[in-house]
Structure 1
Amino acid sequence: MWRRVLLTILLTGLLFGLLYLRKAPGSYLAPSETPLIGIDFTLSTPSPINQQAPGGDKLVQTAWIPDWGMSAGLTSFAAKGANFDSISPVWYYLNDDGLISTKKRNVDETKSLCQKYGVKLVPSIANFDSEQFEKVLSDPDLLARHVQFLVDEVLSNDFDGLDLDYESVELKYQPAYLYLIREISDKLHAEGKVLTIAVISNWTNSDIFRGLRQTRQAQDLATIASLVDEVRIMTYDMTSYSSTFAGPVAPLDWLEANLRYLITLVDPQKIMLGLPLYGYDGWSNNPTIPKPYLGLYANPGAGAGQADAVTYQSLDLARANLVSDVIEEFSQEQLLTYDYEGKRYFVFYPSVASTALRIDLAKQYGVKGVAYWRMGGEDLNIYDLLDK
């Protein structure tokens, strides 16, 4: 009997412990990113290891522009291009057959603005499907064609380089994946071009992740860093559009956890800290809840329980029905609250003030700069936090 009572007590304690980890302030873990073991992201103060000296090299900034948002992105770039080191329009994608499709939009305008401001044009190839990428990595002939096509595109269009954004790769193809990067690196560097790469957020070498576990393992950061000029870590979407609970996109303590880990593998002067220029709009059935991450549901108006992605310039409705707009205590991310048609909405988004905190963190860790996803629809004053 006493054993049964003891077992009941232990199981009850474990259950409450798990619930606490799930909902405790500072534990902003979207379902796809929830570790299988606990990690303390919360720090009372940043703990930099590579503080920049006054008057040292300044951080640089870059941004991606998606092909579907070129018009809005170029409007922003035209206004603030003088503050940028490079720009990366997403012009290349993998097809289902493993071949590359091009979506080069507004090329002449983009080139003209880059020349005007002295900004490097470094287009990006993006892929989010491991099965598509598998076709390339499992076929030596297709892999060679893939490499040569991208190199030829850079050279024939006189781009300054190339950005690789392969976001889903099976671990068994790691050798081919690293070989592909090395081949592109050798060919581009031989022509005086630059190579950058986007990598998945990562804050530990333990196999704790539920989402993109194999991709994180396949992305051998130390080896990759030796082959490229920039490692752009995608430290955003910790709470994503499909998360059950609303929460910050890039909480400050989570960013620092990523940096603490990354600098053990990568020269800080190759690291570009990824920062979001978007947020998510979710609502609660109960507008009296004390904290936004307790009991919030993603906005089903976007379909299938998914939240609405928003930019600073798309928040007119929210501002017209504003309840509050403050930097949230635990995440240090801007949190806008508004009421509409009987529901209370919560929008985590980047403001100038919250972005300044993240840039300060990047400076404290002595990294090369920041990389924004995505240019277009943002508060343009953010770009004045850094200049050339």
Structure 2
Amino acid sequence: MPTTEQARSRRSAARGPGAAHRLRTARRIGGSLWFLALIALSVVLVVVVMTPRPPGPAQPAPLVVASLPFWNSDKGTDMVVQHQHLVNEVSPWMYGLAPDGSLTTQYPREQTAQVADHIERLRRANIPIVPSLANITNGLWAYEPVATVLHDPVKRRAHVAEIVELVKRENYAGIDIDYENLRAGDRQVFTDFVTELGRELDAEGKTLSVAVFAKTTDRGYDERNVAQDYAAIGRAADEVRLMGYDFHWSTSPPGSIAPITWIREVVDYTRTQIPPERIVLGVPLYGYDWVDGHGTSVTWLQAFRLATEHRVRPNYDTASQSPWFRYTDADGREHEVWFENAASAKAKFEVARGSGIRGVYLWMYGYEDTDTWKELGNSFPARR
């Protein structure tokens, strides 16, 4: 058997005198090709990394809505126009239902010209107007008129048509539905209503907003919550306005109107049911003064004056992020006041911003802490 070296010599001789040279040349060329291939691959990778990705679907701009109750439309309009650079939608709370379920206005007839003037001022400020329609009849929340409309398919279709006609006739940007105190048995028909209304408004290029009670489970705490199917409403509406207030209310024991821990829980749950870009958190700018088991609503300015008059310094509850104080009136009755100020509003603005939801709406009783607007601008900078 030939040695390894002998075998190598035989293979070399068989190739001829130029074989070894050709082999060395081939190896050099092959090495160069691999080197060039590596350079080309590096260039491709750099180009891929450096080339900007095509933009994804555009995210809607943050939304800040000012809700203006008709009884404070004068002062409220002044404040919204003054801060129009921070507000990109306004909802005058002005429409209700007649006993037969047809649309009517909530404000007294003698205020018609005044309300029209305020609407015109908002239009001149180029703020989209999405007025609120509530099941208020003769000044009170009423169940029967809205229930009759919801449970009769013919009346429901007529109701939808009447709302769409109102929006088109008045050239509103849309409508906000605030139907409250519904019952568990209304859940499906209310879903049918908002679905039909959303479809008709969408065909006209108009916005549908629906106000819902805040809750942390589908059932919530009573029938009013059961009646509102978050997921179904979120599919039908452009905006779902979470009423993030009245955790304590006029007939409850005194306490925070909107404790921040509850607000976080409500937003977290809602995000599991509704796309975040459709969720708008309601932020209260008012409070209650409780005495003898009953609370009377107060503005920030009224709370400030009460504290000043009775020479008490408001406390700030850090757990709930809410200001409060106690005082004794001239009849010796002890009052407890919980209200909202710029700091408590700021905490809620930051929850909305940090959770990635669409934005906030301000429920304005009027005469809010003026620093609230500064904090709003810090959390949701000017966008117009």
**TM class by smaller structure:** 0.7 to 0.9
Structure 2: how far apart are the matches of 1:270 and 1:215?
A: 21
Q: Which has the higher contact order (CA 8 A, sep 6+)?
A: 1
- For residues 12-23 of structure 1, the aligned pairs below 5 Å read none
Mark the CA change 1:58 to 1:229 in structure 2 (over 3 Å): closer, same or farther. Answer: closer
Specify the alignment match of 2:313 in structure 1. Answer: 324
SS at match of 1:81: coil
Specify the alignment match of 1:122 in structure 2. Answer: 130
> CA-to-partner distance for each residue in 1:57-93, whole Å, 9 max, x for gaps?
8743112212222223223223223311111112211
1:340 corresponds to which of 305, 329, 350 = 329
2:168 corresponds to which of 155, 158, 165 = 155
- For residues 260-271 of structure 1, the aligned pairs below 5 Å read 260-271=268-279
How far is the alpha carbon of 1:247 from its aligned partner? 0.4
Range that drifts further, 69-78 or 144-153: 69-78
Mark the CA change 1:61 to 1:329 in structure 2 (over 3 Å): closer, same or farther. Answer: same
SS at match of 1:322: coil
> CA-to-partner distance for each residue in 1:249-291, whole Å, 9 max, x for gaps?
0000010110111000111111111111110112xxxxxxxxx
- For residues 118-267 of structure 1, the aligned pairs below 5 Å read 118-127=126-135, 128-205=141-218, 207=219, 209=221, 213-243=222-252, 245-267=253-275
Mark the CA change 1:57 to 1:226 in structure 2 (over 3 Å): closer, same or farther. Answer: closer
Mark the CA change 1:313 to 1:253 in structure 2 (over 3 Å): closer, same or farther. Answer: same
The runs of at least 4 aligned residues of structure 1 exceeding 6 Å deviation read none
Mark the CA change 1:57 to 1:187 in structure 2 (over 3 Å): closer, same or farther. Answer: closer
Mark the CA change 1:254 to 1:345 in structure 2 (over 3 Å): closer, same or farther. Answer: same
Structure 2: how far apart are the matches of 1:78 and 1:336?
A: 32
Structure 1: how far apart are the matches of 2:60 and 2:176?
A: 23
- Which is higher, the Rg of structure 1 or of structure 2? 2
Structure 2: how far apart are the matches of 1:368 and 1:102?
A: 29
Structure 1: how far apart are the matches of 2:196 and 2:220?
A: 31
Structure 2: how far apart are the matches of 1:91 and 1:240?
A: 23
Q: Retained in 1: the 8 A contact 2:94–2:105?
A: yes
Aligned residue-pair number = 308
How far is the alpha carbon of 1:197 from its aligned partner? 0.8
Specify the alignment match of 2:302 in structure 1. Answer: 314
Structure 1: how far apart are the matches of 2:271 and 2:307?
A: 39
Specify the alignment match of 1:7 in structure 2. Answer: none
Range that drifts further, 227-236 or 180-189: 180-189
SS at match of 1:143: helix
Q: Retained in 1: the 8 A contact 2:77–2:122?
A: no
Specify the alignment match of 1:101 in structure 2. Answer: 104
2:64 corresponds to which of 53, 57, 61 = 61
Structure 1: how far apart are the matches of 2:367 and 2:84?
A: 15
How far is the alpha carbon of 1:339 from its aligned partner? 4.1
Specify the alignment match of 1:286 in structure 2. Answer: none
Letter in 2 for 1:374: M
How far is the alpha carbon of 1:161 from its aligned partner? 0.6
SS at match of 1:133: helix
Q: Retained in 1: the 8 A contact 2:194–2:233?
A: yes
Q: Retained in 1: the 8 A contact 2:149–2:159?
A: yes
Structure 2: how far apart are the matches of 1:256 and 1:151?
A: 35
- Structure 2, unpaired ranges of 5+: 1-58, 136-140
Range that drifts further, 329-338 or 227-236: 329-338
How far is the alpha carbon of 1:203 from its aligned partner? 0.6
RMSD between superposed Cα atoms in Å:
2.1
Letter in 2 for 1:353: A
Specify the alignment match of 1:382 in structure 2. Answer: 372
Mark the CA change 1:58 to 1:322 in structure 2 (over 3 Å): closer, same or farther. Answer: farther
Say whether residues 1:350 and 2:353 are aligned partners: no
SS at match of 2:178: strand
How far is the alpha carbon of 1:101 from its aligned partner? 1.6
Q: Determine which structure has the larger helix proportion and give its number.
A: 2
Letter in 2 for 1:232: R
Q: Retained in 2: the 8 A contact 1:76–1:375?
A: no
How far is the alpha carbon of 1:217 from its aligned partner? 1.8
Say whether residues 1:366 and 2:356 are aligned partners: yes
How far is the alpha carbon of 1:375 from its aligned partner? 4.8
- TM-score of the pair, normalised by structure 1: 0.74
